[in-house]
Every structure is written in C-alpha cells, then in structure tokens.
C-alpha cells in the first residue's frame, strides 16, 4: 500500500467513524429533546425524523400565513366523506344540540364540553389555507376557540407530550405534539366564512391545524386525550393516516 492510499484510507476511516458517532450523538439528542416522530422506524424513518426535527427546531413558534378577506375561496372543496354512521346521523337530526367534546388523559380536570360551552370561550377567527396532500387547496375563514385555552383550562399535566383527537366516525383519529396543540392557530372550529361550520367541512366541530396538511384537521371531533406516549394508541404511530402509510407529521 503506497503512503498516499494509506493516508486516504485513514482519512476515510476517520471520516466514517466521525459520521457514525455524529449520527449516534444526534439521534440521542433528538430523542432527549422530543425531536423523533412516532413513525421514525423503518426505511423512511431517517427522512421523517430530519423533517420533524428541523421544523421543530426552526419553526416551532411560526404562524401559518393568514390571508386578506378578498382571498377567501369562492369554491372551497369539502373533499369526500364516508357515509355517516348512525351516531352522527342522530346528532345531525337534532341539530347537534347534544354534541360533546370530552377532554381526558393527562389532565388535572377531565371535562366534557358542549358546543355552547365552546362558543362561550374566547373566539379566534383566522383566514388560512387548507392544503391537501393531493395538491389542491382553498382559503377560508375559520372561527372557533384555540385548543390551547381548552387544554390549559383542564390543567395539562407536565408529562403530557401529545394530544390524541378522535372523530365520531370510526377509525378516524390523529395526534399532534404539544408544540402544535398549544399553538395559537390550532383551533377547535365551529364556524366557517360567517356561518356555522357545514357538515362537509367537518361541522359541527373540526380541529384545524393550519401548519399541517389537511388530513391532520380531523372532522367531527368528540374526544381529546392527552398522553405522554403514542405507543398505547392503535399501532403506536399516532393516527389513522399514519397507520395507512402516511407521515404522522404533516407539516411538509
């Protein structure tokens, strides 16, 4: 082996060693600071972890773009819905009078709120874009009360790391981390464009998460559960879409 190739060999070896130990350190730090998403296993885990960690480090407090009233879409698109189940139909028939939102899990005071309870809480209105992973989008005015206020009123326990939220429709649930749950634009939405939230758009109650793709904004919300780990929920990847092969973190 000539001296040059030996030097190259040593350099490459040191670079590889530095790379591997650097990645090990990065992985440990990412885990400690909650930068690892629940779907970090498998072939696409590294890319997903990079995306989630980078966005949490750089964009934790940034606000989704809000638009002027003139940009509200004339033709918002409601997207497809599965046929409603009987429970939903009963609520629909009674004008959603008895609709309740349960808050449980890692909170000091579990609660159950009616729609009028939610309407009596501080109102926030924001004109934001709904972005579907398919590629289409629309802008609408969303009116509701920030999720953060509802969670804080229930007394979030310090170990809570995620909010799991459920639709009244079966097998439709998602979860977000506390950064998004406590974000001022994450809205328990009951009205849209100056009217009640239409059923097609998730009425009577939809959780709008405007910094993530549309599939994280679950329609017909009935329950919020705070937890320190997503392992005990379904297959442990944090949502029905993630179980169906989609990224848990949809900020991209």
Partner 1 sequence: MLSGVPDAVSLGNSDSPRHAAFVRVTHWITTVCFFALLITGAEIVMSHPRFYWGETGNDLTTPLFRIPIPASRNLVPTGYHYVMPDENGWSRYLHFEAAWAVVLTGILYAIWGLWTGHFRSNLFPAPGDRTWQAFLRVIAKHIRLKRPEESEAFSYNVVQRAAYLVVIFILFPLVICTGLALSPGFNAAFPVVVNTLGGRQSARTLHFFISAFLLLFLIVHVAMIVLAGFTNRMRAMISGKLITEKVTGGVIAGKMTSSSVTMIRQTVAEERI
**Positions that interact with partner 1 (CB under 8 A):** 43-44, 46-48, 50-51, 55, 58-59, 62-65, 67, 71, 73, 75-77, 79-80, 129, 131-139, 210-213, 244-247, 250-252
Least spacing, CB of residue 4 vs partner 1, in Å: 9
Return the ∠ at Cα 199 (arms to 138 and 252), rounded to 5°.
35
Least spacing, CB of residue 241 vs partner 1, in Å: 8
- 191: three-class secondary structure by DSSP: strand
- 249: three-class secondary structure by DSSP: coil
Q: Which is nearer to partner 1, 55 or 227 (CB)?
A: 55
| Maximum C-alpha span of the chain | 86
Q: Which is nearer to partner 1, 56 or 91 (CB)?
A: 56
Nearest residue to 122 via CA among 221, 188, 210, 202: 188
Least spacing, CB of residue 227 vs partner 1, in Å: 23
Q: Where are the alpha helices (DSSP H) in the chain?
A: 3-32, 45-59, 86-93, 115-119, 147-154, 178-181, 240-243
Q: Which is nearer to partner 1, 57 or 87 (CB)?
A: 57
Q: Which is nearer to partner 1, 30 or 103 (CB)?
A: 30
Residues in the chain: 252
Least spacing, CB of residue 154 vs partner 1, in Å: 26
Which residues, in sequence order, are CB contacts of 74 under 8 Å at separation 6+? Answer: none
Nearest residue to 208 via CA among 181, 235, 229, 232: 181
Least spacing, CB of residue 174 vs partner 1, in Å: 15
Residue 154, judged by CB atoms within 10 A of its CB (0-12, 13-18, 19+), counts as: buried
Q: Which is nearer to partner 1, 29 or 132 (CB)?
A: 132
Q: Which is nearer to partner 1, 75 or 122 (CB)?
A: 75
Least spacing, CB of residue 75 vs partner 1, in Å: 4
């Amino acid at each position: 082996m000539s001296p040059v190739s030996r030097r190259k060999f040593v350099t490459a070896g040191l670079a590889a060693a530095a790379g591997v130990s650097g990645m090990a350190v990065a992985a440990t730090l990412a885990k400690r600071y909650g930068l690892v998403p629940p779907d970090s296993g498998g072939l696409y885990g590294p890319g997903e972890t990079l995306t989630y960690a980078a966005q949490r480090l750089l964009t934790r407090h940034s606000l989704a773009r809000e638009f002027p009233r003139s940009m509200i879409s004339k033709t918002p698109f409601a997207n497809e819905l599965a046929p409603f189940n009987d429970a939903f139909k009963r609520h629909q028939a009674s004008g959603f009078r008895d609709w309740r939102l349960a808050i449980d899990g890692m909170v000091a005071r579990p609660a159950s709120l009616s729609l009028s309870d939610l309407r009596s809480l501080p109102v926030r209105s924001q004109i934001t874009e709904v972005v579907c992973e398919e590629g289409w989008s629309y802008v609408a005015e969303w009116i509701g009360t920030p999720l953060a206020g509802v969670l804080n009123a229930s007394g979030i326990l310090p170990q809570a790391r995620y909010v799991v939220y459920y639709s009244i429709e079966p097998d439709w649930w998602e979860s977000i981390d506390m950064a998004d749950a406590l974000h001022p634009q994450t809205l328990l939405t009951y009205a849209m464009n100056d009217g009640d939230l239409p059923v097609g758009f998730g009425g009577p109650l939809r959780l709008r998460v405007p910094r993530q793709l549309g599939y994280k904004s679950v329609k017909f919300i009935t329950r919020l559960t705070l937890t320190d780990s997503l392992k005990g929920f379904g297959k442990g990847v944090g949502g029905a879409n993630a179980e169906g092969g989609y990224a848990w973190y949809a900020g991209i």
